[in-house]
A and B are shown apart, each in its own frame.
Chain A
Amino acid sequence: MTGTIITILLIVLMLALFTAPFEALEWWVDWFEDDPSIAKILPPAPKNEDAPYYLVYLTGIGSTEPNKHAWRELQLFERLKKSLPNAIIVDNIFPYSMNNVALTGNRLFSWLWKFAHQTRSSSFVTPAGIMINFRNMTQVGVSVDHRYGPIYDRGSANLVRRALENHGYPFESNIPVYLLGNSGGAQIAIGAVPYLKQHLNGPIYVISIGGVFGSDRGHIQSTHFYHLVGKRDNIERLGRILFPRRWPFWRRSHWNQALNNGKVTIIPVHARAHTGRNSYLDPKRGANDSQSYLDETVAVITRVIADRSNL
Chain B
Amino acid sequence: MRTIWICVTELGDIAYRINVDTLSNISIWDVIAAYFVGQDQLLGTMAFAANRTAVTLQIVFLAGLSDAIGNSVILLANRIRPFRFALAILANAMLFLFGYLAWSLSLLLITNRVFGLAIDYPFFFSIVALSYIPILFSVFSFFPYFGYPINLLLYGISAIYLIRILVAATELTTTRAFFSTILGFVFLSIIRATIGRPVIHFGQWVVSTAAGRKLERNIETALNLQTGGQQ
Chain A residues with a Cβ under 8 A of chain B: 14, 17-18, 20-21, 25, 28-31, 138, 141-142, 144-148, 150-151, 154, 157-158, 195, 198-199
Complex contact B81–A20 (CB within 8 A): no
User: How far does the alpha carbon of A148 sit from the alpha carbon of B145 in the complex, in Å?
Assistant: 9
Complex contact A31–B82 (CB within 8 A): yes
User: How far does the alpha carbon of A146 sit from the alpha carbon of B77 in the complex, in Å?
Assistant: 13
The residue of chain A having its C-beta at the shortest distance from the C-beta of B218 within the complex is A150
Q: How far in angstroms is the closest Cβ of chain A from B12?
A: 35
Complex contact B82–A157 (CB within 8 A): no
Shortest beta-carbon contacts, A-B, top 8: A141-B144, A141-B145, A142-B144, A195-B231, A154-B231, A17-B143, A145-B144, A147-B73
Q: How far in angstroms is the closest Cβ of chain B from A71?
A: 31
Q: How far in angstroms is the closest Cβ of chain A from B149?
A: 10
Interface residue B100 (Cβ < 8 Å from any Cβ of A): no
- Interface size counted on chain B using CB atoms at 8 A: 22
By a CB distance below 8 angstroms, the chain A residues around B142 are 18, 21
**15 A/B residue pairs, CB under 8 Å, sorted by A:** A17-B143, A18-B142, A20-B143, A25-B73, A28-B79, A29-B79, A31-B82, A138-B144, A141-B144, A145-B147, A145-B148, A151-B76, A151-B219, A154-B223, A158-B231
User: How far does the alpha carbon of A154 sit from the alpha carbon of B223 in the complex, in Å?
Assistant: 9
Which of B73, B146, B223, B230 is in CB contact (< 8 Å) with A21?
Answer: B73
Interface residue B220 (Cβ < 8 Å from any Cβ of A): yes
Complex contact B143–A18 (CB within 8 A): yes
Complex contact B146–A198 (CB within 8 A): no
Interface residue B48 (Cβ < 8 Å from any Cβ of A): no
**Would you call the interface of chain B mostly helix, strand, loop, or mixed?**
helix
Q: In the complex, given contacts A29-B79, A151-B219, what are 15 additional A-B residue pairs having Cβ atoms less than 8 angstroms apart?
A: A17-B143, A17-B146, A18-B139, A20-B143, A28-B76, A28-B79, A142-B144, A144-B144, A147-B147, A148-B144, A151-B73, A151-B76, A151-B223, A158-B231, A198-B230
User: How far does the alpha carbon of A55 sit from the alpha carbon of B62 in the complex, in Å?
Assistant: 50
User: How far does the alpha carbon of A241 sit from the alpha carbon of B101 in the complex, in Å?
Assistant: 41
User: How far does the alpha carbon of A158 sit from the alpha carbon of B223 in the complex, in Å?
Assistant: 14
Interface residue B61 (Cβ < 8 Å from any Cβ of A): no
Complex contact B145–A145 (CB within 8 A): yes
Q: How far in angstroms is the closest Cβ of chain A from B87?
A: 15
Q: How far in angstroms is the closest Cβ of chain A from B155?
A: 16
By a CB distance below 8 angstroms, the chain B residues around A157 are 231
Complex contact B148–A198 (CB within 8 A): no
User: How far does the alpha carbon of A141 sit from the alpha carbon of B231 in the complex, in Å?
Assistant: 20
Complex contact A141–B82 (CB within 8 A): no
Interface residue B140 (Cβ < 8 Å from any Cβ of A): yes
Complex contact B145–A150 (CB within 8 A): no
By a CB distance below 8 angstroms, the chain B residues around A198 are 230-231
Which B132-174 residues sit within 8 Å CB-CB of chain A?
139-140, 142-148
Complex contact A150–B219 (CB within 8 A): yes
Complex contact A28–B144 (CB within 8 A): no
The residue of chain B having its C-beta at the shortest distance from the C-beta of A17 within the complex is B143
By a CB distance below 8 angstroms, the chain A residues around B220 are 150
The residue of chain A having its C-beta at the shortest distance from the C-beta of B222 within the complex is A150
